[in-house]
Amino acid sequence: MNGEKKAASSREPSEVELLLPWHAAGALGSREAQAVEAALANDPELALRYEWVREELAQETLIGDTLGEPPAHDVEALFARIDALPPRRAASNTIAARFAELFASLSPRALAWSAMAAAVVIVLQATVIAGILLNANNGVGYQTASEPTNITDQGSDVLLRFKPQASADQIADFLASNKLSIVGGPFAGGLYRVRVAPTKLAKADLSRVIDRLQNDQIVGFIAAAE
């Protein structure tokens, strides 16, 4: 009997079981809700467990409702704090304005990296365009003796997207505390190329860095940059 109970409690829950709390809260889409309803109708044990879920919801609701409310004067307090803020610049949604805002929040070191990255990108673009033009002339023409520049050879980079709610201050703190610098972007989808180490890290080491950074509250997406 005890063994059975232990086995039951240690088994993996089904998808329907996982959804029971959301079903009780009325937070499922109609298709999922119908699937849960059907399972409950055919499985008396599941229906019994659902009663526990409903009881949990009832008690959490009771706890929440008895937490009270913030003080009635909180709206005045909020507007007093808003009034104390420095005058707001005209809101702008242009990419240029956001780019300027982001870079205003970066450290001088990060800014220097960004400037260098921008310079490298320009050189790369010029090289590529020149190459296309030269190829168009069947390879006949002037050739430079310089090595092709490749930014990824200089260190280890990741592609990173910050969560939309991350503030400029949070991003600046994140970059500073993790000794990171933005070396490229923003690219499509709000991605930035971020340097995590000045030297080329081993794949396993880079994975560890990515895993650590991924846990940060403001990181929405992160992956190793090719």
Partner 1 sequence: MQTIADDILIASIAKGDRSAMATLFARYRVPVYRFLLRMVRNEATAEELNGDVFLEVWRHAATFEGRSAVSTWIFSIARFKALSALQRRREEELDEGEAGTIEDKADDPEIALAKKDKAAVLRQCLEKLSAEHREIVNLVYYQHKSVEQIAGIIGIPVATVKTRMFYARKKLSDLLRKQGIDRGWP
Interface with partner 1 (CB under 8 A): 5, 8-9, 13, 17-19, 21-22, 24-29, 49, 52-53, 55-64, 67-71, 74-75, 77-79, 81-82, 85, 88, 91-93, 98, 163-165, 167, 217, 219-220
Q: Among residues 83 and 153, whose Cβ is nearest to partner 1?
A: 83
Q: Residue 26's CB: how many other CB atoms inside 10 A?
A: 8
Kindly give, in sequence order, each residue whose CB lies less than 8 Å from that of residue 180, ignoring residues fewer than 6 positions away: 110, 174, 194, 195, 196
- Shortest Å distance, C-beta 18 to partner 1: 4
Q: What DSSP designation does 185 have?
A: E
Minimum CB distance to partner 1, residue 2 (Å): 10
Nearer to partner 1, 120 or 163 (CB): 163
Rounded to a whole number of angstroms, the minimum distance from the CB of residue 59 to partner 1 is 5
Helix, strand, coil shares of the chain as percentages rounded to 5? 60, 10, 30
Using CB atoms within 10 A of its CB, is residue 144 exposed (0-12), middle (13-18) or buried (19+)?
A: exposed
Q: Smaller CB distance to partner 1: residue 139 or 164? A: 164
**C-beta of 60 vs 205, nearer to partner 1:** 60
| Environment class of 18 (CB within 10 Å of its CB; exposed 0-12, middle 13-18, buried 19+) | exposed
CB of residue 92 vs partner 1: minimum separation in angstroms? 7
Q: How far apart are CA 218 and CA 196, in angstroms?
A: 16
Q: How far is the CB of 215 from partner 1 (least distance, A)?
A: 10
CA 43, 26, 58, 17 torsion-angle sign: positive
Q: What are phi and psi of 161, to 5 degrees?
A: -120, 130
* Nearer CB in complex with partner 1: 117/191: 191
| Least Cβ distance, residue 224 to partner 1 (angstroms) | 19
Please tell me the distance from the alpha carbon of residue 106 to that of residue 202, in angstroms, as a whole number. Answer: 27
Give the residue with the Cβ less far from partner 1, 62 or 145.
62
